[in-house]
Amino acid sequence: MTPDELKALVRTVPDFPEKGILFRDVTTLISHGAGFAACVDHLASRARAAGAEVIAGMEARGFIFGAAAAAQLGIGFLPVRKPGKLPVPVIGIDYALEYGSDRLEIDPGALRTGSRVVIVDDLIATGGTALAATSLLRQAGAMIDHALFVIDLPELGGADRLREDGVIVDALMHFPGH
């Protein structure tokens, strides 16, 4: 399936989580067997072209797409977790959200210094989570210069913010609005 055909599988939910937002829901894409497989094929192909040795995915939907692409490539997957989820000593980063803050953590022992890591997530909006993950992974010694997304919301500027941080950004599809 082409990215345009995959785009047709993404459900748009108006006024969620608040009035005026058009929420791009990937659960309809994930639940479509052929669509999900094609989406993972596209991501894996792009990760391979970027020289990925490890794929990192942010909780939670980045786990779905990233782990599937990593398995297809036969490379490792590194989960970038919400706080308090890992049973070992972690390194973490706090970052700002539109309304508050959050934290990401990783097990630094799960990553070999100098590994070429490609970030995979379902969607990039403002880029806060992806930028925080990039910083955290670099702190752990990873080489990060590519990030792959199923969806980009270009009007929110996240992809541009990542590019300004030296990351090549690629998305399978783009949607206007928020």
pTM of the model: 0.96
CATH of residue 133's domain is 3.40.50.2020
Q: pLDDT per residue over 124-162, tens digit each? A: 999 999 999 999 999 999 999 999 999 999 999 999 999
Number of domains in the chain: 1
Domain encompassing residue 86: 3-174
pLDDT at 100: 80
CB 24 within 8 A of CB 175: yes
pLDDT at 97: 78
Cα separation, 144 vs 114, in Å, equals: 9
Cα separation, 135 vs 122, in Å, equals: 19
Is residue 46 among the annotated active site residues? no
pLDDT at 177: 74
Cα separation, 18 vs 62, in Å, equals: 23
Cα separation, 178 vs 176, in Å, equals: 7
Please return the burial class of 51, using the count of CB atoms within 10 Å of its CB with bins 0-12, 13-18 and 19+: exposed
Cα separation, 136 vs 56, in Å, equals: 11
Average pLDDT taken over every residue of the chain? 96
Is residue 105 among the annotated active site residues? no
Considering 48, 61, 116, 138, which one is annotated as catalytic?
A: 61
Helix %, strand %, coil % of the chain (to 5):
35, 35, 30
CB 54 within 8 A of CB 75: yes
**Interior/surface letters 56-70, b for 16+ CB within 10 angstroms, e for the rest:** bbbbebbbbbbbbbb
